[in-house]
Amino acid sequence: MDMQNIENQITELKSQMAALDKKAAENKLSMVVFSGELDKIIAAFVIATGAVAMGMDAVMFFTFWGTPVLRDAKKSVGGKDAFGKMFGAMLPKGMGKVKLSKMNMGGMGTAMMKSLMKKKNVASLEQMLAMAEELEVQIFVCEMSMDLMGFKREEMVDYKNLTYCGVAKFLEEAANSKVQLFI
């Protein structure tokens, strides 16, 4: 009788443990990249690649001003309406065109920062993107931002783990992540 009772309790505990296990956050970093400026994009990639080094999975969601940064400078697409053309022309086309959020000084500040980065061996944004790809950092791009700004998938960078998504995908990842950041 008693043994049966204990066995029942163990079975119940096991199923409770399994349920808790499902709820537990994964060792993952989910990051929203909202900004499209050099300094903030650097910070985002340093943290994402560092997370992988720390044994975490890293997921980056590019939205709003972060979206144009993922365009490929070498690609161009036609067939955009007036607004799409305007956004396309006014926002940085790719990693090489992003500016500092402070002290840009008509581009002088950004140029100075880039030469300093080179001197101090800090990876360029292009190198950081390549490193993120190698480390299997997953990138999601906000479909609404793409649509609002008139960007087309054909003009985005080639990146192995790049997917288009909406807010639900970000929330699913964020809810399952130990660390969430907004940059």
Q: How far is the CB of 108 from another protein (least distance, A)?
A: 23
Candidate ranges 30-38, 74-82, 118-126, 171-179; the one touching another protein (CB under 8 A) = 118-126
Beta carbons of 47 and 181 less than 8 angstroms apart: yes
Region binding another protein by CB under 8 A among candidate stretches 44-52, 88-96, 151-159, 173-181: 44-52
Q: Binding of another protein at residue 123 (CB under 8 A)?
A: yes
Contact between 141 and 162 under an 8 Å Cβ cutoff? The reply is: yes
By CB under 8 A, residue 24 contacts another protein: no
Orientation of helix 38-53 relative to helix 125-134, angle to 10° = 30
Task: Note whether 53 binds another protein by CB under 8 A.
Answer: yes
Query: How many angstroms separate the CA atoms of 29 and 24, rounded?
Result: 14
User: Is residue 25 a contact residue for another protein (CB under 8 A)?
Assistant: no
- How far apart, in whole angstroms, are the C-alpha atoms of residue 151 and residue 109? 28
Query: Cα–Cα distance between 76 and 69 in angstroms, integer?
Result: 14
Of the ranges 7-15, 31-39, 46-54, 61-69, which one interacts with another protein (CB under 8 A)?
Answer: 46-54
The CA distances from residue 147 to 88, 157, 158, 164, in Å, are 12, 17, 19, 11
Asked whether the beta carbons of 76 and 155 are under 8 A apart, the reply is: yes
96 near another protein, rule: CB under 8 A: no
Q: Which helix (H) or strand (E) holds 162?
A: strand 162-165
CB nearer another protein, residue 46 or residue 167: 46
Interaction between residue 119 and another protein (CB under 8 A)? no
Asked whether position 112 contacts another protein by CB under 8 A, the answer is no
Shortest reach from residue 127's CB to another protein, in Å: 10
Task: List contacts with another protein (CB under 8 A).
Answer: 46-47, 49-50, 52-55, 120-123, 131, 135
